[in-house]
Each structure stands twice: as structure tokens, then as C-alpha cells.
Amino acid sequence: MAERATPDLAISARWILPVEPAGATLEEHAVLVRGGRIEAIVPADRLPPMDPERIVSRPQHVLLPGLVNAHTHAAMSLLRATTPGPALDAWLRERVWPLEARLVSPDFVADGTELAIAEMLLGGITCFADMYFHPEVAARVARSSGVRAVIGVPIFEQATRWTSGLDDSLGRCLELHDRYRSDALVGTSFALHSSSLTTDATLAHVRTLADQLQCPVMIHLLEAASERPRVLRNHGRGPLERLEAAGLLNDLLVAVHCVHASAAEIERIAHGGASVVHCPASNLRLGNGIAPVSTMREAGVNVALGTDGAASNDSLDILAEARLAALLACGSTGNGHALSAHEALGMATLAGARSLGLADVTGSLLPGKWADIACMALHGPAIEPVTDVAEAVIHAAGRAAVSDVWIAGRCVVRDRRLVHIDTVDLMDRCRHQGARVVAALAANAGQ
Amino acid sequence: MAERATPDLAISARWILPVEPAGATLEEHAVLVRGGRIEAIVPADRLPPMDPERIVSRPQHVLLPGLVNAHTHAAMSLLRATTPGPALDAWLRERVWPLEARLVSPDFVADGTELAIAEMLLGGITCFADMYFHPEVAARVARSSGVRAVIGVPIFEQATRWTSGLDDSLGRCLELHDRYRSDALVGTSFALHSSSLTTDATLAHVRTLADQLQCPVMIHLLEAASERPRVLRNHGRGPLERLEAAGLLNDLLVAVHCVHASAAEIERIAHGGASVVHCPASNLRLGNGIAPVSTMREAGVNVALGTDGAASNDSLDILAEARLAALLACGSTGNGHALSAHEALGMATLAGARSLGLADVTGSLLPGKWADIACMALHGPAIEPVTDVAEAVIHAAGRAAVSDVWIAGRCVVRDRRLVHIDTVDLMDRCRHQGARVVAALAANAGQ
């Protein structure tokens, strides 16, 4: 029998939550990594012979798959806590869009995206799906920071400060897709703002291209209660019907929010194989309500988790979203077992990967997948005693417990510090951008 | 004019959120402390001449009043994450009470209470209201740890492992009240489990004693949907009517939960001057729902925040409860302005102090009050840029940002470490208790 090659890295920990198989908890095991991928998970006392310097020991810790933030607008981290508003439509039209008109530029996107990535990495997020202006800048920043990302290219029909119209938007999407088509970490997707802002012709066009490229199509769907009546009035059918008619209701579709999806719509989403991204904090903050996650899961929908942008959340914290999702599922159904800690963790990892077409790549600690791993320290007065590891991760520990993070086997956070991002320089740039934000807020208020 | 005596301590910070006056934010000010009390808040460049060693500078930080956890069962921190259950009644009868029957002892209460206090101090909580067995032990532990506490003495009519019956319970309450009557930090209260477990005679008895001693009376009220019909069936009137009939609906009453309070009941609570303690995470976790906080606040009810015990929450984190309260108020009313960050901070501080009869003592940074102060570091990729300090505190920073805590002018947390609690020894004891909990869980499961 041929001897196995020596692993590049072994990470041993008190506990491992591999997510696959579902509900499993391993004690005193180690993840073996070779060539950036998970080679095996073995009992910690049966490591193969290897250089001790390549063994990382985390004796009070848990290893879990790197978390997946399946929906954000990363650069909006520069607009954190600036724009609480009474309701989604007014918030966009009166607060966000005027601010963006003053502020958004390639530099703004570069600094904001790097800020978001820094926050996400420190919180155990190894993969995110983005949707914002200047996606070519976001892709470049993601690539250089070593995070896994699916960069959504916004498809605008009108001219914006970024593109001259539909053809330009689509062309940029294809160009970006081409540039990253063999990249191990960065991929692309089509990002439609919402059904109410997109014509049938564009939906059909995007469908054709997405099918050819096998790229995800992201769209905000049924976020506010006002969406269905408005779309019905303007387009003659509801938002989901329009996607269905365009052939977009399939497993490439990433339907974000779905707060106001009816039981019948949920059945059709499930039947089409589309994913939903649940963004509970943003949905509450903007007064949109609570998405019917338990109904979706019972119908067989793949429900992932997203933070949304920092302007409607303030915190790109997927562990907080997972806890909130579990609490809301229990509180809104009257059933304290509606969403277990293991299930919430699955939403924060594997379901996110699946929504982005990356279930073979990341989202669980299965041999053959890339070694995207978060490590959390489960000790101290806020966490111990630990009697159930998944409960401790979701309900007690929080992202402050994240100690180390690896992406494709490369360490990006060590002892709660970013390895490859110069935090001092980044925060200097972000404070400078923050001053611009304050000036823009004042200028808008003065108009 | 007589010269002012030199302060014992000056704490200067980039920002101060004093909570009184409501909505105020000060920049580059300092809190002057003398004899444990707040003497004044002055611009940071106008400190009186004083020993530089007594000046604490926190240049990227915010000072706020120490947080108040207005309802918990501190010792249940040892049962953290052990007992998720489908619904309140079954959870208590099938999970919690059998576990407590095996585990609760003075040592269990001492270790669990100290664990809870350690977690709370590190999270900026300077005052908590407790309700658990062996309150004399909890009072002793609170006293020695230097935290401010109102220890609820549970009033049981039946014999328990702690008391032989009603007279014994009441006697212990009076005895404990006497022992701490002139203590600057620890006070006592009457703690009734719930209306369904208390007779009219006992309610009347407690009312008389509470009026004489001017002690708060805490009770779980309208927590689950099942409470009103059960109490109606067994007692001929509803839970609130019973308190009203006993004369308990007054400003000494601390009504915990009130998830299922009707609009008419809320009006009566407001009219009586009672406080409500909102425990949003516990209410969701046990499937009880979302309390109508906006209706309560509009009616003029003083609404404080509580974590409840760790067995139904897992995290004694009042900043998380404040954020959750704000999110739920917005999400459940459809109004993104339903509860501002300043208002949520007021609930987490002054409203809590007011509910416990301590509004003249703590809960805001007013001269004359004790110097109960939390300091949070508002820097780093998860928090900056800071454009609105209260928004940053409630929605972005979280308790991981708490750096220092003072209670009555005495530093209890410095640079995120407990000053007076031996964490190593505490965690050793808690791990030992945790092993007992695991054994008790197994024994109960095996029955």
C-alpha cells in the first residue's frame, strides 16, 4: 500500500463540528490539510508522523467550517450606523441613494470592501456574496485579501455613475466573469436589485447568460410588504411570477429576504430549487418583519444567512444572524425546538455555500473540500460550562470567541489578529472615508 | 467661594453618553469621581489640578452608565445551554426542575452566581436583580464581588429544599433585608415565581410587607400564552387582576416578561406605575413570542431589560438584549424608528435602575449618583467609522468592546480583565459543577 503524503498542516481541537454529517460533534480530533484541502479528520492521538511546527493545537476550542455570508453590500460598511430609516423605500430614496450619489467611487468601494472583509474574517466568515457598485474593485480587494467571494455584478438598465446602461452592465459582468473564471477563490454572479427595477426583457437576458455561464443570479425578493402590490401594478404580475416567467426560478437563483413570501410562493421556490438568503437583523431594523423560515425549511427550501449591508445592520456578524434566526424561528412559531443550534450552524455554513453553487468547495469539513475553517475558543465566564458544543457556539460564544481562521488552508486570522491585512493603514483610510461620510450627511441634511 | 476638594478619579473619554439628559452625547469630556460618586462631568481640557496617576484616559472610547440587568437567575449560568425545550411549562417541569432537584445547593448557588457576576461585569453590567434559591448565598457572593445587586428572595408556599414553607420564606426575606439594610451595594426584594403558583393570601401578605419595607416585588407575569387561561380557571380572575386585587399593582411591582399583556392590561400597568422587564431573547427562545414593547412605552410604562437566566438565554448580555429589543420593536411595528439606539440604551440603564427603586442611585451619569460606569472601545473593523455613537454602541460594538468598568468609583474591570475575581479558580469550580450538571442530565435522561 502506498504511503500517504505528509499533511501540510494538522489542526487539533477539543471539539469539531463538521456540519456534514449533520448534527455530528467530534471530540479530540484533528483536521489534516494538504494542498489547501481537507485530507481527513482523524482522532487527535493518531496524527501521522509530521513536523511538530505544522501541528496547531487548540485544546479549549472548536473547529467549524468557515462561515458563509450569503448576502452583503460590503462597501456599505463605510455607511455603518448612518442611516436608520422608517421604512425600506423611504430609507433607500431619502437616505442611502443620495449619500451614495455623493460618495461612491472606486476608492470608496476599495476601502469599504476591505473594511468589510477585515470585519468578516475576524468573525469567522471565509466566504461572502457581494452586490455593489464597482464590482471589479471589490473582486480585486477580495482576491488580495485571500477571502473566498462571489462578486455580484449589478445589472442596471439606466446609466449610473458606474455604467452607461444595460449593455455596459452585462458586458462588465461577462468581462469580470472571464477574468476570474479559473480563480480558486473569487467568482462572479449577476446581481439584480429587485424585480420592481428590472424589465421582463432584462430578466430574460440575464437568464440566458446565467444558464450559459452557470452563474448564480441574486435578487432582493419580497423584502418589504409594499413590493408585491407595486410590482403587480407596474408589471401585471407579482415579483415571483415574473422571475418564473423569465425562467429564472431555478437552482441558480439566490432570492434574498423573502420576508413576505406566501405559503404558495414558498412551495414554488422549493419546487424550483432556488435558495433563499435570510437576513433577519436587516429585516427587523428596516421594519420589514420576520421571514417565515420554518415554513421555508419544511418546504425543502435551502435557506442561507446574510448580514445585508452595514447600513441596515451595522454588524457583518453571521454568528449573530444565526442566533437571531434561531430565536426568531422559535419565537414566531411558539416552538422552542423550531430551529436547533446545529440547524442554525448549517444555515450559516453549508446552506450558504449551496446557495452560491459552492457546496462541493466549502461549507463543511468534508475531505476533498477546501480547508475553510473557523476556530473558536470556548472558555471563560461567558461560555462555560460547555455541555452542548453547538448550543455554546450559536447561543453563548458569539464572534468574539473566534480565534483563528484558515481559507484554503492558509491562515488569515491568528490569535484574533488579521495576518495579511494591515489594520492600522486600513483604519486610517476608513476614518478618512468616515469624515467624508459625515460631510455628505451634513450636506444632504442641509439641502 | 470654598475650593472644591480634589477628585479621587477622573475618567476622560472621546465620548460620553450620560443617558440623562436623554439623547445627549458629549465629546472629549471627563467624569470626575469623589467618594465613589459622580461629582461632575467637565470638558476634558478643564480637569481640576490633580495627581496624573488618578486620571484615566480613554481616547477612542465611550463612557456610559453601568448597564442594569433587571431580571436574571444568576446561578443558572451553570445550566447554560443545557435545557432548550419546546415550551415554557414543559421546559420547567420536564427539564429545569428535575435538574435543579439534583443539583441546587449553597455551593452550586455560590459558584453559579459568581460565574454570572463575572460574565456580567465583563459585559458592562454593574447592577442586577436576581431571583433564585439560597438568596443569602447570592447576596454574600454579590457583596464580595463588588457588584450592585437586588437579591430577590423567593417566596414559596410549599416546602422546598431551601425553606419549609411560607412563614420560613417570608422570615428569610425579612432577615436578609435586615442584614443588608444599610449596605451601599446589595439590597433585597420579594420574588414571587408567578401568579399561578401563589395564593391570594400570600399576595396580600407580601403586599403588606413590601409596603412597610419599600422593597420591590418581582413576579413573572403573562410570560406564556397559557398563563391567563390557567390562572382564570384556577383563581377566577386573570393574573394581573389578582395582583391588582391584592394591592400589588404599584410602583414597587416589577412585572417580568408581559409578553401576552393586552392593551387594556398595559394601560393598567402604566396607571399603577409598575415596571415591566422585557427579556426578549428568553421570550423568543422558549417560544413565548415578542412583548408589545412599543405599546408599553407609548402607554408610559417604565420598560427595563433583563437577560433572564442562562438556561433560557445562554448569555447574560444586556447590550445584546438592547439591540434585540430595538430590532424587534422595529420589526414588529413595521417602523424602523420604533426604538432608537438612545432609547434602547435608556432601557438598558436608567429604566432598569428605576424598576428596582434605584433611579437616584445609578442608571445615568448624573452628579450625585454613584459612579457606576462602563467604558467601551469604539475602534476596529467591526465598529468604525463611528458617525453616531449611540448607534455604534447598541448596533455595532457589542459587549466585546467593553474595556473597563467602575462600580461606586471602584474599578472592577480593567483592560477587559476582572480586577477582584480570581478567574482561574472560578472557572475550575465551574468546570467541576459542569461535570455534575452533565451527570445529572444523564441521570434524568436515564429515568
A118-141 confidence digits (pLDDT tens): 999 999 999 999 999 999 999 999
Same domain? B212 vs B256: yes
In this structure, of A110-114, A372-376, B105-109, B436-440, the range with the lowest mean pLDDT score is B436-440
Tell me, yes or no, whether A185 and A321 share the same domain. Answer: yes
CB contact (8 A) between residue B86 and residue A336 = yes
Angle subtended at Cα A133 by Cα A127 and Cα A134, rounded to the nearest 5 degrees: 85
For the residues B268-273, what does the mean pLDDT come to? Answer: 98
Chain B positions touching A84 (Cβ under 8 A) are 336-337, 340-341, 391
Please, which pLDDT band fits residue B445 given cuts at 50, 70 and 90?
confident
Mean pLDDT of all residues in B44-68: 97
Predicted pLDDT at A309: 96
Query: What is the rounded distance in angstroms from the CA atom of residue A116 to the CA atom of residue A179?
Result: 23
User: Please, which pLDDT band fits residue A151 given cuts at 50, 70 and 90?
Assistant: very high
Q: How confident is the model at residue B4 (pLDDT cuts 50, 70, 90)?
A: low
Return residues 263-292 of A near B (CB < 8 Å): 281, 283-290
Q: Give the span between the Cα atoms of B391 and B445, in whole angstroms.
A: 45
Identify all chain A residues contacting B294, using CB atoms and an 8 Å cutoff: none
CA-nearest of A397, A395, A334, A407 to A370 is: A407
Give the Cα separation of A255 and A216 in Å (integer).
10
Q: What is the CATH number of the domain that holds A197?
A: 3.20.20.140
Q: What's the pLDDT at A5?
A: 81
Asked if B286 lies within 8 A of A336 by C-beta distance, the reply is yes
Grid cell digits, residue B320: 445584546
Residue A146 one-letter amino acid: G
User: Which residue in the set A118, A284, A326 is minimally distant from B331, CB to CB?
Assistant: A284
Residue of B nearest to A284 (CA): B331
State the CB neighbour count (10 A cutoff) for residue B287. 24
Order of all β-strands in the sheet with A373-377: A37-43, A26-34, A9-16, A55-65, A373-377, A402-407, A410-414, A417-418
Instruction: Please report the pLDDT score of residue A1 as a whole number.
Output: 42
B319 reaches A (C-beta below 8 A) = no
Same domain for B258 and B325:
yes
For residues A87 and A57, state if they share a domain: no
Q: Is the pLDDT score of B200 beyond 80?
A: yes
Q: Does residue B114 contact residue B58 with C-beta atoms inside 8 Å?
A: no
Query: If you search the block for the grid coordinates 410562493, which residue do you land on?
Result: A265
CATH of the domain at B21: 2.30.40.10
A327 in contact with B, Cβ within 8 Å? yes
pLDDT at B1: 42
State the smallest CA–CA distance between residue B317 and chain A in angstroms.
Answer: 9
Examine residue A49 and state whether it is found in any structural domain, yes or no: yes
Query: Any chain A CB within 8 A of the CB of B400?
Result: yes
The answer to whether B13 and B375 have CB atoms below 8 angstroms apart is: yes
- Would the CB atoms of B387 and A289 count as touching at under 8 Å? no
Q: Are residues A255 and A330 in the same domain?
A: yes
Identify the weakest region by mean pLDDT among A89-98, B30-39, B153-162, B314-323.
A89-98
Are B270 and B376 members of one domain?
A: no
Identity of the amino acid at A68: V
Look up residue B372 and give its three cell numbers: 457606576
Interchain proximity B287–A324, CB inside 8 Å: no
Range of the domain at B147: 67-355
Cell 453590567, residue located:
B125
Output the nine-digit C-alpha cell for A86: 422608517
**pLDDT (tens digit, 9 = 90+) per residue, A2-61?**
456 899 999 999 999 999 999 999 999 999 999 999 999 999 999 999 999 999 999 999
Q: Distance (Å) from the C-alpha of residue A440 to the closest C-alpha of chain B?
A: 11
Shared domain check, B375 and B349: no
Whole-prediction pTM: 0.97
DSSP state for residue B91 in the 8-state scheme: I
Closest partner residue to A84 among B285, B336, B379, by Cβ?
B336
Are residues B118 and B253 located together in one domain of the fold? yes
CB distance A284–B333 less than 8 Å? Answer: no
Structural domain total, chain A: 2
Q: What is the CA radius of gyration of chain A?
A: 21
Report the relative pairing of strands B302-305 and B275-278 from DSSP bridges. Answer: parallel
Domain identity same for B221 and B167? yes
According to the model, what pLDDT value does residue A246 have?
96
On whether any CB of chain A is under 8 Å from the CB of B325, the answer is no
The alpha carbon of residue A339 and the mean position of all alpha carbons in its chain are separated, in whole angstroms, by 20
Task: Based on the fold, state whether residues A26 and A78 are members of the same structural domain.
Answer: no
- How far, in Å, CA of A113 to CA of A142, rounded? 8
Q: Is residue B439 part of a domain?
A: no
Beta carbons within 8 Å of A425's beta carbon, 6+ residues apart: none
Chain B residues 109-128 with a CB less than 8 Å from chain A: 115, 118-119, 122-123
**CB < 8 Å to B430, chain A:** 381, 384-385
User: Which range has the top average pLDDT, A386-395, B3-12, B192-201?
Assistant: A386-395
A421 occurs within a structural domain: no
- Closest chain A C-alpha to B318 CA, distance in angstroms: 12
* ipTM of the complex model: 0.96
Contacts of A433 in chain B (CB under 8 A): 385
Using the beta-carbon criterion (under 8 Å), do A315 and B395 form an inter-chain contact?
yes
Q: Do B285 and A385 touch (CB under 8 A)?
A: no
**pLDDT tens digits, B335-362:** 989 999 999 999 999 999 999 999 999 9
Q: Are residues B266 and B396 in the same domain?
A: no
Same domain as A143, residue A56: no
Chain A interface includes B238 (CB < 8 A): no
Burial of B59 (0-12, 13-18, 19+ CB in 10 A): exposed
Distance from CA of A310 to the nearest CA of B (A): 9
